[in-house]
Structure 1
């Protein structure tokens, strides 16, 4: 199973550069002047769509300005605390707004956040699955 997150963007080239900087890779097969498929993993992809293209899928609803209204908070996992910090730092260096929310700091979890240039909110979390499973008295069953 895969998940494709579709995001409207004001400037496709800027969005491609931003998502490349935070670790996604562009799949040219599913990209054109109105859309770009950016892969975070084999199962997670972000489809960056110009406003015109995005409206083609749902023309009866206005596009939310994610800089002023809540839209959705997306979250991806990281392999370590250092990976969380690295991805968030890359987001900031690429023009994103970092630490939009207070960082989550626990023994079993660490997370930070950023907004992309269009205001889409992302969380990046490291979760110690073994510690989480032990707290719940269960074997580790979920991969981070």
Structure 2
């Protein structure tokens, strides 16, 4: 009987997690969630992010980089695109969002350095994506 009690106590002690182990688990779970979030962010298509002004090579991009209003619209569009892409439930829906954004980029680039045209294109696309991602 003494052996049984000793074995039960040993099992109970082994099943109780130490404070250090609990702390490790409390840190690992949020860290894993953060890593998953970063992986999702980096897996989004390149169009989801605003282009780098250092890499601008089109008249439309130079115009955006040299105008605070257009730059703000470009950043807003990046956010709205990312939201619409993430909210797309199926692969075909995500492909559609990406395809529409690619077509929009062609229309934006066709504006050249025309600030009025660029402003209009950005506002139209932001509204279109906001409605589709709602």
TM-score (norm 2): 0.24
Query: Does 1 or 2 have the higher relative contact order (CA < 8 Å, sep 6+)?
Result: 2
Higher strand share: 1
Higher helix share: 2
TM-score (norm 1): 0.23
The structure with more radius of gyration: 2
